[in-house]
Amino acid sequence: MARLLGPLLVSPALIVILLLFMVPLTASVIGAFEVEGAYGLGNFTKAYDFYTQDIVFTAVIVGLSTVLTGLLAIAIGGYLTLGENRAAVAILRWLYRWPMFIPFIVVGQVLRTFLAKSGLLNSTLVAFGLLDPLTATSYLDWRGVVVAFVWKQTPFVALMVSGAMASLDRGTIEAARNLGASRLRILVEIVVPQVTTTLLVGLVLSFVTMMGVLSVPLMINAQAPTMITADIAFRLSTYRDYGVANALGLISLAISAVAAWFYLRVNMRQGR
């Protein structure tokens, strides 16, 4: 009886995951190969013909956002760990977290107003004399999507990275500092190599999250080329075409799998 209690208590939650996640996920994989009642690659050729540009666009945008997120997270975590001015460190610690809990749909709306032609970004640049009002343009294209992703994901990765950096052995850092190494060099050569695993976990999670976000491309980049998520929504709302939608979904799963594989490979090499 006692041996059965554990599995019994876990099973309701597991059944929900099975029915509402595993089953639809399997259905999406099978559906991608279903063409008018038979199985074949028709959906993929259609997806390739119509959406190659968007697939490349998605991979590049999400990849670029991931790289920028990683660099900013290292910079923030590095200053929090190695910064010598307590007031500046405290200000940064208070400042950087704000966007973390703001939902993507709200991120889309606030950045849509901020990055618009008459948004606060352009008016501030004009006020500082950094931008000529006549050449002001809106940033609501691929740049807006990248800004939205980096804005939202950096605090999350920076939080993970700075936590890992804080638990490092201070001895080596102090020793390098005493030998006269600059803080930038300590960050690049001593601190970052020791937190690579945490950094990569945060970046892979961010990559997958960005691949699945629908609201940001719909709100910020409602033009061609756009992201795969927006194409899937369009394919369904306009044609009810589940075949091509599932094929595009499988392609976005495959792109995420490449990111996860990259993470595993780097991790294995580290373990050796």
Residues 141-180 that bind other proteins (CB under 8 A): 151
Please state the closest distance from residue 37 (CB atom) to other proteins, in A. 16
Give the count of residues interacting with other proteins (CB under 8 A): 76
Of residues 178-237, those binding other proteins (CB under 8 A)? 205, 208, 211-215, 218-219, 229, 232-233, 236
Contacting range for other proteins; rule: CB under 8 A; set: 44-52, 104-112, 179-187, 263-271:
104-112
Contacting range for other proteins; rule: CB under 8 A; set: 21-29, 33-41, 187-195, 262-270:
21-29
Whole-angstrom distance between the N-terminal and C-terminal Cα of the chain? 44
SS (H, E, C) the chain: CHHHHHHHHHHHHHHHHHHHHHHHHHHHHHHHCEECCEECCHHHHHHHHHHHHHHHHHHHHHHHHHHHHHHHHHHHHHHHHHCCCHHHHHHHHHHCCHHHHCCHHHHHHHHHHHCCCCCHHHHHHHHCCCCCHHHCCCCCCHHHHHHHHHHHHHHHHHHHHHHHHHCCCHHHHHHHHHCCCCHHHHHHHHHHHHCHHHHHHHHHHHHHHHHHCCHHHHHHCCCCCCCHHHHHHHHHHHHCCHHHHHHHHHHHHHHHHHHHHHHHHHHHHHHC
265: tokens are: 């490979």
- 244 with 47: CB under 8 angstroms? yes
Of residues 61-80, those binding other proteins (CB under 8 A)? none
Please state the closest distance from residue 42 (CB atom) to other proteins, in A. 18
Please state the closest distance from residue 253 (CB atom) to other proteins, in A. 6
Asked whether position 37 contacts other proteins by CB under 8 A, the answer is no
Q: Which is nearer to other proteins, 90 or 175 (CB)?
A: 90
Please state the closest distance from residue 69 (CB atom) to other proteins, in A. 14
Q: Which is nearer to other proteins, 3 or 272 (CB)?
A: 3
Contacting range for other proteins; rule: CB under 8 A; set: 23-31, 34-42, 49-57, 173-181:
23-31
Report which of 221, 222, 247, 266 is spatially closest to residue 61, judged by C-alpha positions.
221
Report which of 246, 94, 67 is spatially closest to residue 157, judged by C-alpha positions.
67
Asked whether position 246 contacts other proteins by CB under 8 A, the answer is yes
Q: Which is nearer to other proteins, 121 or 195 (CB)?
A: 121
Please state the closest distance from residue 191 (CB atom) to other proteins, in A. 19
Of residues 106-125, those binding other proteins (CB under 8 A)? 106, 108-114, 117-121, 123-124
Contacting range for other proteins; rule: CB under 8 A; set: 40-48, 168-176, 184-192, 249-257:
249-257
Asked whether position 40 contacts other proteins by CB under 8 A, the answer is no
Please state the closest distance from residue 84 (CB atom) to other proteins, in A. 9
